[in-house]
Structures are given as structure tokens and as C-alpha cells.
Chains A and B, each alone.
Chain A
Amino acid sequence: MTWISYRNTATGRSHIRNGVPCQDYVSYHKNDHLSIIALSDGAGSRAKSSEAAHMATNELSQYILEHSIDLYSMEDYMVATTVVDQFHSLISTQFEEQDFEQFACTFQFVLMDEENENYLLGHIGDGAIGVRNGESWEVRSEPENGEFHNTTYFLNSIDATERLRVIHGNLENLKGFVMMSDGTSESLYNRSEKCFAQAVETMYQWAITHEEQKVQEAIAYNLETIIRDKTEDDCSLHILCRVEEE
């Protein structure tokens, strides 16, 4: 069995109107039997949020991948502390701008160890993460907003280590993962029922029955049309499917 990553982002309608680039990023890194999928949504109003989200899905995710053995053995709180500290450290070393308030982004990651059949999930802010357990999709990490709709928690929040949710899990029986930003969750995550829309299963079925390139294009196209039409915000989606190796 192997895992295939399907991912894309779409610039939100308000950003298109204002000529602002997409501040959602998705990534997939693999190293032998270890891999990590990540998603980050930069906060619209902060000057360095786009850089922060890009860094979270690249350098920070690679750091998590490279330090997976240590992270797997840590308590949840220590995992959160290590991730947040590394985020701050990356900002310090890579940017002259030292105003941490400007580097606001949400962060979701799933680190997978195929050899030992386990995973480590981290999530701060809005957006949602789910797994296909057997034949159905389950929510593993729901969105965390503040009291008000336009507030959430970011990697640079003062209480980020308390807010970064960490979950250890087993890959056995899992056939897929889904992660999405808040823009996408307007279409794919039901807030009151706390469950995913049928569309998640539909895309999963595309992934296991169609050629990879075609599915990548389909996900990109649907993000840029039907999913983006239901929100003003940037949209991003990452679906990871376990498939038989050819």
C-alpha cells in the first residue's frame, strides 16, 4: 500500500477583488517510510502572514519530519511546545522583521510513520482534519475559533502551545486523510453537525478509481469553482489516499 497526496489552493474572491495573492499553503514531504502533509492559512490583515504560512508548510513541516522520532516519543504538550518554539526560531533566523505579531497563520499537519503504522496530528486555529476510518469519514480535529466568527488562533498567538491540539493515532484501518482551511470548510464541513459533506467521500472515490493527474486537476477545478463560490476566503484542500501499489 502507498499514500497519494492530492492538494491545491484557490485564491479567495475578496483577495481576487483586492489583488491580494492566496495566503493558504499546502504541502507534502516524504522521507523513506515517513511523510507529512500540512496546511496553513495566513491571517489576512498581518503583513507577514503569507510568509508565515509558506514557512509553516515547508521549513517547519520538514523540521517535524526530520525530528519525528523525538516528537513521537514526547507528551502532547511537549510536541506543541517544540513546534511553536521552532516556528519562532525559524522566523528569528530567516526574517529581519522581528515583530512576531505579523507572522500570523493557522497550522495543520499529519506526520505518518508507515513502518510503525502510526501518526501524529497537530492543529491550531480553524479549518478541519478528518480520517477515512474503514468506510466512513470521521472528524479528528475540528475548527477552533474564538467566540466570534472572524477570530481564531495562530501559531504566533501568545497561548499557541496551549491551543495547538496534538493527537497520536494508529494508521491501521485508515484509508485516507482530509485537511481543509476555513474557506473550504464552508462547503465541506458542517459546523453544527460536526461532520464532513458527501463531497469529501466523492473526491476520495475519484482518487481511488481514476488516474492521479486527472484527480489533481479535478480537485483544483472544483476548488476554483463550486467551493470558492461559497466563500469570500482563500480555499485549500489536502486529501491523502491509501492505494494499492501498482
Chain B
Amino acid sequence: MNDLMLSHQELTENPTARVPICLVLDVSRSMNGDPIQELNAGVELFMNEIARDDIAASAAEISIVTFGLGVEKVTDFGSIERQEIPTFHADGLTPMGEAVDTALDLLAQRKEMYQNLGVDYYQPWLVLMTDGAPTDDIEKAARKASQLVSSKKLTLFPIGIGPHANLSMLSKFSPQRSPVRMKGLEFRKFFEWLSSSVSAVSESTPGEAVSLPSVKEYGWGEL
């Protein structure tokens, strides 16, 4: 065998390219009961699935913003290994506009941090879930989100929960991807699909089209 071998010490260590993901979750009073329980279980499953996948665990950075009794940043971006899995309680109204605005600011700040540190990153993701209609003004946030989506600076997944979710309001945030109504309370299937999607993106290379897993196959959405 050839004795000319490189050692790991002679190679460079580049930081893993990050996928910043912000979950923007409706925890208003109408989510009380089974919906909030299933949402808690779904988010727990999501974070555990990401942590189990070596590549996704080092690439994905998750932040969670809730809207209900006000808008709250529940989880800040960071390594999944050091994040605590939150438990949500349903209360309050549906200040969706403010929540999306907060999420967009958080994603922008995160991107700026990556740029300052020379860390590569993928297109940020925003997952917006609601079981109702906004109770605040969404125009500014919807315009900002739509512009980012149209200029390919943001991937936004609008998800309606239950029969009362106002999909036409959700679509204002998403000029390209139509909102999907969740089948029943299949939060777990949705978050399984989301973690597989994160894995697919975190393994993609330049010039490669990323195909996300099929919603139909995971069976979480009404198509």
C-alpha cells in the first residue's frame, strides 16, 4: 500500500453550512385541549428526529416563536443538542402579523451572524401554523414575507390546523406555496415530514435541486 497518507490534522475544518428554521406557532385559546397536546408532541418529535440525524443535527438551527397571549420567542437559534424541548400552553388571541414580523427579524439577524462569522448557510425556512385567523394587522409582515419568498430568500410553509384555519389569510404570506390544511391533528406526521425535508436540504450540494419528501406519502395534509 502507498505510504503517502494525509492526516486529519493536515486538513481544514470548515463549519457545517446551517439551515436556519423558525417555527411560528399558534398557541391561542382555540388551540386548547387536543390540538395543543398534539402540537407539543409534534415539536418534541421534530427536535428528537433532527438530533438523531448526524448531518441535520449539525446543520439545522431551530428557533420557535409562538403567538397567543402575546408574541414570544420561546426558543432561540442554537445547536439542537443544547436546546430544551418547550411545552406550550394555549391562551390568548392570534397576533399572527406580529409573530411573523418577529420571526423574519430573527432570521435576518441569524443570517447576519453567519455572514460575520464566515459560516455558509442555506435558504432560511419559516413554518407558519395556525388554527384560525389573525387578530392583528398582517399586511406589513405578509408583504415582507412575500417579497423574500419571491426573491428566493426564504422558504415559507403555511399550514392550517383544523376546519377554522383561514387559508386565504395564510396565502397572503406565501405567493408560491399554497397553504396546506393538516389532516386532523396529524402534527407528528407533519413534523416527521419536516425533519426529513431538513435532512434533504442539509445534504444538498451546489447546483443540486432539492426535492422534498411527498406530503401525500407522509399523510399529514389534505391535498
B117-169 at interface with A (beta carbon < 8 Å):
117-123, 153
Contacts between chains A and B (CB distance < 8 A), count: 106
Chain A min CB distance to B187 (Å): 28
Chain A min CB distance to B147 (Å): 15
A195-243 at interface with B (beta carbon < 8 Å):
196-199, 202-203, 206, 210, 214-215, 217-218, 221-222, 226-227, 230, 232-233
Chain A min CB distance to B202 (Å): 9
With known contacts A149-B17, A218-B2, A44–B205 Cβ distance under 8 A:
yes
A182-201 near B? 1/0 per residue, CB < 8 Å: 11001111111000111100
Q: Which residue of B lies closest to A202 (CB)?
A: B10
A104 interface residue (CB < 8 Å to B): yes
Chain B min CB distance to A12 (Å): 8
Give complex CA distance A104, B201 in Å: 20
User: Inside 8 A of A152's CB, which chain B residues have their CB?
Assistant: 206-207
A31-45 near B? 1/0 per residue, CB < 8 Å: 000000000011111
With known contacts A197-B10, A199-B6, A214-B2, A104–B207 Cβ distance under 8 A:
yes
Chain A min CB distance to B122 (Å): 5
Decide if A154 touches B207 in the complex (CB within 8 Å).
yes
Decide if B207 touches A14 in the complex (CB within 8 Å).
no
Decide if B11 touches A215 in the complex (CB within 8 Å).
no
With known contacts A192-B118, A217-B2, A232-B203, A199–B10 Cβ distance under 8 A:
yes
User: Inside 8 A of A230's CB, which chain B residues have their CB?
Assistant: 11
Give complex CA distance A69, B14 in Å: 40
Residue of B6, B12, B206, B208 near A226 (CB, 8 A) is: B6
User: Inside 8 A of A188's CB, which chain B residues have their CB?
Assistant: 11-12
Give complex CA distance A186, B16 in Å: 10
Chain A min CB distance to B19 (Å): 9
With known contacts A44-B205, A145-B206, A218-B2, A189–B122 Cβ distance under 8 A:
no
Decide if B123 touches A148 in the complex (CB within 8 Å).
yes
Chain B min CB distance to A45 (Å): 4
Residue of B10, B208, B209 near A198 (CB, 8 A) is: B10
User: Inside 8 A of A227's CB, which chain B residues have their CB?
Assistant: 6, 11
Q: Which residue of A lies closest to B120 (CB)?
A: A149
Give complex CA distance A202, B4 in Å: 9
B74 interface residue (CB < 8 Å to A): no
User: Inside 8 A of A12's CB, which chain B residues have their CB?
Assistant: 205
State which size class the interface on A falls in: 35 or more
Give complex CA distance A84, B153 in Å: 28
B153-212 at interface with A (beta carbon < 8 Å):
153, 201, 203-210
Give complex CA distance A148, B107 in Å: 14
A73 interface residue (CB < 8 Å to B): no
User: Inside 8 A of B82's CB, which chain A residues have their CB?
Assistant: none
Q: Which residue of A lies closest to B111 (CB)?
A: A147
Decide if B17 touches A197 in the complex (CB within 8 Å).
no
Give complex CA distance A217, B205 in Å: 27
Give complex CA distance A147, B17 in Å: 12
B5 interface residue (CB < 8 Å to A): yes
Give complex CA distance A196, B12 in Å: 8
Can you report 24 A-B residue pairs in the complex whose CB atoms are below 8 A from each other?
A: A14-B203, A41-B206, A43-B206, A43-B208, A44-B207, A45-B208, A45-B209, A49-B207, A147-B153, A149-B122, A150-B205, A150-B208, A151-B206, A152-B207, A188-B12, A191-B118, A192-B117, A197-B10, A197-B11, A203-B6, A214-B4, A217-B2, A226-B5, A226-B11
Give me the 9 closest cross-chain CB pairs, A-B, nearest first: A43-B207, A192-B118, A218-B4, A45-B209, A149-B17, A44-B208, A149-B120, A199-B10, A197-B12
A residues apposed to B, CB below 8 Å: 12, 14, 41-46, 49, 104, 106, 125-126, 145, 147-152, 154, 182-183, 186-192, 196-199, 202-203, 206, 210, 214-215, 217-218, 221-222, 226-227, 230, 232-233
